Structure formats: C-alpha cells, structure tokens
Structure 1
Amino acid sequence: MAPDDVGEGVWHDGRIGGGFASSVRRVGASRARQLAQPARGKATCVAVFLQPSVIELEEVLHEFDPDLVQLDHESLAEPAIAAALRARAVLPVLRDGRALPAELPVRALFEGVQSGTGRTADWDAARALAPRMELLLAGGLNADNVAAAIATVRPFGVDVSSGVESVPGVKASDKIFEFVRAARDAAREFCS
C-alpha cells in the first residue's frame, strides 16, 4: 500500500497501525512515521508490538510517536515496559487460552493465540468478555466473516491485518474498503 493509499484507507478506517513484531508485516519506526504522516490528525496512529524489548519500545515511541501502543497484556507487568509507557495510551491484547489479568482493562483487543496467522479467534470467549469491557475483536477477520463476528460477539470494534492483504505483508486498498463497508453495515444492523 502506498502512502497516498494510507490516508484514503484510514479516512474510512479510523486507525493505522505500524507493526513492530518480527513478521512480514514489520516496519521500522521511520517507515511507520512516513506511512502514518498522511493520516495524522485524521486517524489514531498505533504501534503494534508483541513483546518488545525496552530499547525497541523506546526507539519506536521516540521516532514514530504513536497515539496508541498495542501489546500483549503480560508485557505491561514488566516494570521497565510499564515505565516506558507511563505517559502513553495503551491497548492491551488478551489472547485465546491465556489467563486474563486480575483486573480487566476498560478496553482491550481480543485475538487468537498467535497474531497474523489469519486464524479466527474464539468468538464464544470474546462474546463472554464483550459485556465487561470495550472489546476490539481481531483474529482471522475479513470482509466475508466480519458481519458474522459482529453479530456473534457484539464487540466495541474490530481489527484486521491479514484479512485485507493481497499477499502476506501487503495491504490491498480494495480489501480494506470491502472490510470497512462490511463491518459498518454489520454494526448498523447488529449494534444499534
């Protein structure tokens, strides 16, 4: 996806993420800053991590300057990570089959055991959590199944990555638009 596409896609989407986990979707902090530039002020810029080192986290915070940091909730228990994120908005990730934090966050992303696989998260487990928090559903979502996911889980929002790619690591504008349209239609139907 080209930087010009990012601004247009985000206008409909609301968030843009820079991936910093080790995968085909990984971007460096300076590339994330470049891609996010057209979206600044129109969308929330998110730094997506799995379990970052403190050095990696601080580099991305300084260079990319995200509006929101998304990472597995277990990472927040590490004092150095928590200290680096003290003045930042954080979206913790809760995963299928893992223990929940003792105190549930107000808002969290719920996804499958492993990110970026295209495998669907456990919608029944997500549905049980959704009334207790602002739950963002991720994991295996695409334009074909997002309506069923929204109807089943009734999430606060949805998150997509591999479901809008033409090939692994390459976002396709047409797939983004189809996904957003399907998600918005389902939200109007099931969450009004």
Structure 2
Amino acid sequence: MSRLAIKICGLSTPDTVGAAIRAGASHVGFVSFPKSPRHVAPGQMRALAAIASHVDRVGVVVDPDDELLTELVATGGLTAFQLHGKETPARAAAIRQRFGLPVWKAISVKTAADIAASCAYAGAVDMLLFDAKTPDCAALPGGMGLRFDWTLLHGIRPVLPWGLSGGLGPDNVAEALTLTGAPLIDVSSGVESAPGIKAVDKIIAFCEAAGAS
C-alpha cells in the first residue's frame, strides 16, 4: 500500500514549514493570491521553499496570468502549480506545457455531478484536488474550512491521481480517509489558530491523526 501523501497548505513562516516537514508532510503549499490571508510574496516563497527542499512544494494560484507564473517559476522553489480558480482544461494544459511543472486542479464539489465533470481535465493536468464549493459571494475560492459530502467519493475511480481538501482537521481526518480512501489529503484552515496563522501543535496533531510516519 502506498504511503499517504499529506499536504499542509498556506504556510507562511519558517517555523510552520519546519513543523510540517518534521510531522511527516510530503507536500507543502504556498499561496500567491493577495486576497488570501495566507498570501506570500515571491521572495518570501523562495525562502520558505528553500527550507522544504526535500519535499514537494506547491504554488497555489487563482486564475493566474503568465506574468505571475513566470515570476513564481523564477523563484526556483516550486515543484508544481495548484490552480484554484476557474481555469479551463485548455488553460490548465497551456500552463503545464509552457512552464514545465506538474499542474494540479482544484475541483469545487457540491454534488456528484461536480466530481463527474472533473473528467474534462484528463490529459490537461496531473492531479485533481476535490475541495468544497464555496458560496458564490465568497471572496476566496478555498481555505474557508468548508467540507462537502465525502461519501460522494466513496468507491470512485477518478481519471487522474487525486486528493481531498476542504474542511479537514485533526478531529475528522481519520473519518475522511475511511470514507474516501483518499491517497492525498490537503489541509489549510484546519491547522490554524486564526485565518492565515498556522499552529504548530495543530499541524502535528493533524499528521498524527492521519497516521503519518
């Protein structure tokens, strides 16, 4: 059986990046989206990524233009992009081809139809990340601690490698894994003491609850 992949997303300080790695995270995520309380500038992202050189480092972006992506690639610190906006399969494929990094696509889920629609990204991206659909009036596309009905993922056979995000925390990650069998789990607000402020103790508790070794 493959080892569970754990991504701690929205990290913004050296101590929390270090805590995530020590706790067993396989991936760390850095957000480049000024509206987010987890936003980090490219220079800061470069410094944080250097601490995490032996794990995967994912840059989270929302409907990015090529100028931003070029700037983030130039930091030399990222191993993948995570698209968290309304990027189409064609746009995702273009990003993947131009910048030469694996591309993840967050899929907003409320119903089974949303999961089925993710098939459109086959051949365009490398990873699907099933996340809770946020309200239409929400300022952010994710990171709000919302969860969807995880039973929708029970027994599915996605067309691509996939992970689970949205509403996860130390108290429910074991349940989520039991219901979905997710090979990768992604947490952000569930390990925070306040929006954008990661808590070392919660990061450790999350990884322990997920069975990180």
How far apart, CA to CA, are the structure 1 residues paired with 2:189 and 2:157?
A: 23
Aligned residue number for residue 58 of structure 1 = 70
Helix, strand or coil at the partner of 1:70: strand
Give the structure 2 partner of residue 44 of structure 1: 56
Q: Which has the higher contact order (CA 8 A, sep 6+)?
A: 2
1:19 counterpart SS class: strand
Of 4, 14, 33, the match for 1:3: 14
Normalising by the residue count of structure 1, what TM-score does the alignment of the two structures yield? 0.84
Cα distance change, pair 154–132 in 1 and its aligned pair in 2 (3 A)? farther
What is the CA-CA distance between 1:123 and the residue it aligns to?
Answer: 1.0
Q: How far off its partner does 1:129 sit?
A: 3.5
User: Partner letter of residue 170 of structure 1?
Assistant: I
Aligned-residue offset at 1:64: 4.8
Is 2:18 the counterpart of 1:18? no
Task: Please point out which of 194, 197, 201 is paired with 1:167.
Answer: 194
**1:101 pairs with 2:119:** yes
Work out the CA distance in 2 between the residues paired with 1:154 and 1:117: 23
Quickly say closer, same or farther: Cα 1:18–1:64, change in 2 above 3 A.
Answer: farther
Deviation of 1:101 after TM superposition, in Å, equals: 3.5
Question: 1:13-59, CA deviations, whole angstroms, 9 ceiling, x for partnerless residues?
Answer: 1111110123111111111111221111x211110112112211111
More helix by share: 1
Q: Secondary structure at the match of 2:163?
A: strand
Give the Cα separation in 1 of the matches to 2:95 and 2:209.
Answer: 36
Q: Secondary structure at the match of 2:187?
A: coil
Count of aligned residue pairs for this structure pair:
184
| 2:77 equivalent to 1:77 | no
Q: Deviations over 1:136-173 (max 9, x none)?
A: 10001000011110000011110000000111001111
Please tell me the residue identity of whatever aligns with 1:7: G
Distance 1:64 1:167 in 2: 30
Structure 2 CA distance, aligned partners of 1:63 and 1:88?
A: 13
